[in-house]
């Protein structure tokens, strides 16, 4: 079976991108990253993509202020890459999903959705919100992306404890460690056909 074709979208440092590249290089993920799309020219993901020798395009509000123009560019790049899966790896823009890619776009979120999701819920902000409420657990979620932020059928979640004395940085580190396991596992399930997008749901096989 040929490796699954991935397009990875990022807005930040690119740690999730590098984790996927490491998983692929180690033979633990039967995939190939065809294209990286970064929404900010100053994002660390640009340097990481270059270091990993991955094709990388920067297109976001700073480089393409006209929203309609940049969304057309995103769609064009995605369709040209012919991906099996599109991975939102710390991507902070709302992505219009072309009909041809419905059910093929997944997102990783640093909380146990549906809690702590939606517009403005990303990065450190999520962990600050969690710590204000002090639940006993937090974690990460991998889900199919849709027309709204952090909405869409769940593929899998991994929980981590919220410990006494946690601050946003310590909790973020624990959640990110879970993300490095959960996202590759979700992709393996999708590539193997054990989870499928079906009528707005994600049934397991």
Q: Tell me, which fold does domain 1-102 have in CATH?
A: Rossmann fold (3.40.50)
**pLDDT the model gives residue 60:** 96
At residue 1, the pLDDT reads 73
Would you state the pLDDT for residue 198?
A: 84
CA 172/CA 123 separation, integer angstroms? 8
pTM across the whole model:
0.94
Q: Edge to edge, what strands does the sheet with 105-109 contain?
A: 56-58, 31-38, 4-10, 85-88, 105-109, 137-144, 154-161
Same fold, 1-102 and 108-193: yes
* Beta-carbon contacts of residue 10 (< 8 Å; ≥ 6 apart): 16, 17, 36, 37, 38, 39, 43, 45, 89, 90, 91
**How high is the pLDDT of residue 202?**
67
Over its length of 205 residues, how does the chain's per-residue pLDDT go in tens digits? 799 999 999 999 999 999 999 999 999 999 999 999 999 999 999 999 999 999 999 999 999 999 999 999 999 999 999 999 999 999 999 999 999 999 999 999 999 999 999 999 999 999 999 999 999 999 999 999 999 999 999 999 999 999 999 999 999 999 999 999 999 999 999 999 999 998 767 666 6
Catalytic amino acids?
109
Domain boundaries, the chain: 1-102, 108-193
Exposed, middle or buried by CB within 10 Å (0-12, 13-18, 19+), for 1?
A: exposed
Annotation: CATH topology of 108-193: Rossmann fold (3.40.50)
């Amino acid at each position: 079976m040929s490796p699954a074709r991935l397009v990875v979208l990022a807005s930040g440092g690119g740690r999730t991108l590098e984790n996927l590249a490491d998983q692929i290089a180690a033979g633990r993920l039967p995939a190939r990253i065809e294209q990286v799309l970064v929404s900010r020219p100053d994002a660390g993901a640009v340097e990481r993509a270059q270091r990993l020798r991955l094709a990388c395009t920067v297109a976001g509000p700073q480089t393409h202020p006209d929203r309609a123009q940049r969304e057309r560019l995103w769609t064009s790049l995605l369709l040209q890459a012919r991906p099996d899966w599109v991975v939102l790896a710390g991507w902070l823009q709302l992505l219009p999903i072309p009909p041809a890619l419905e059910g093929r776009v997944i997102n990783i979120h640093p909380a146990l959705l549906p809690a702590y999701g939606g517009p403005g819920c990303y990065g450190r902000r999520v962990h600050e919100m969690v710590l204000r409420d002090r639940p006993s657990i937090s974690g990460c979620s991998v889900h199919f992306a849709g027309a709204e932020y952090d909405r869409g059928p769940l593929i899998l979640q991994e929980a981590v404890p919220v410990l006494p004395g946690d601050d946003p940085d310590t909790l973020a580190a624990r959640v990110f460690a879970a993300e490095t396991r959960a996202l590759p596992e979700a992709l393996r399930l999708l590539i193997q056909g054990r989870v499928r997008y079906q009528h707005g749901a994600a049934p397991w096989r």
